[in-house]
């Protein structure tokens, strides 16, 4: 199962969703993406939501380093393989996670 959790206040989730859809198409996969809007701090705690967008595949966050962030309604920072940070994961991170 592929989940994309987001907070409406963060502008990065549409870009992350589009990239995820593109990578799935390139891999020839037609997995459904389950979208979950996180609307409160209590919900963020319950869902272990470290920020928007969060992508999980079969329950595992695609960015293990970022997965341990404090749950809250905030924009997320992804640590890219080349050392940079980004508001969305890299294509490589998605490809590896979808492996």
pLDDT at 66 (0 to 100): 87
Q: Is 68 exposed, middle or buried (0-12, 13-18, 19+ CB in 10 A)?
A: exposed
The residue extents of the domains of the chain are 2-98
Structure tokens at 39: 């609307």
pTM surpassing 0.85? yes
pLDDT at 82 (0 to 100): 87
Q: What is the mean pLDDT of each run of 10 residues along the chain (99 residues)?
A: 96 97 96 97 97 96 90 93 91 92
Is residue 73 within 8 A of residue 22, CB to CB? The reply is: no
Domain topology for 2-98: Glutaredoxin (3.40.30)
């Amino acid at each position: 199962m592929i989940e994309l959790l987001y907070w409406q206040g963060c502008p990065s989730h549409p870009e992350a969703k589009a990239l995820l859809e593109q990578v799935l198409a390139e891999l020839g996969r037609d997995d459904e993406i389950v979208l979950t809007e996180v609307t409160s701090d209590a919900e963020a705690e319950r869902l272990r939501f470290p920020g928007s967008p969060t992508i999980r595949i079969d329950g595992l966050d695609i960015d293990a380093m970022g997965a341990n962030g404090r749950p809250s309604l905030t924009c997320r920072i992804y640590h890219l393989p080349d050392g940079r940070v980004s508001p969305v994961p890299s294509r490589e991170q998605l490809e590896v996670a979808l492996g």
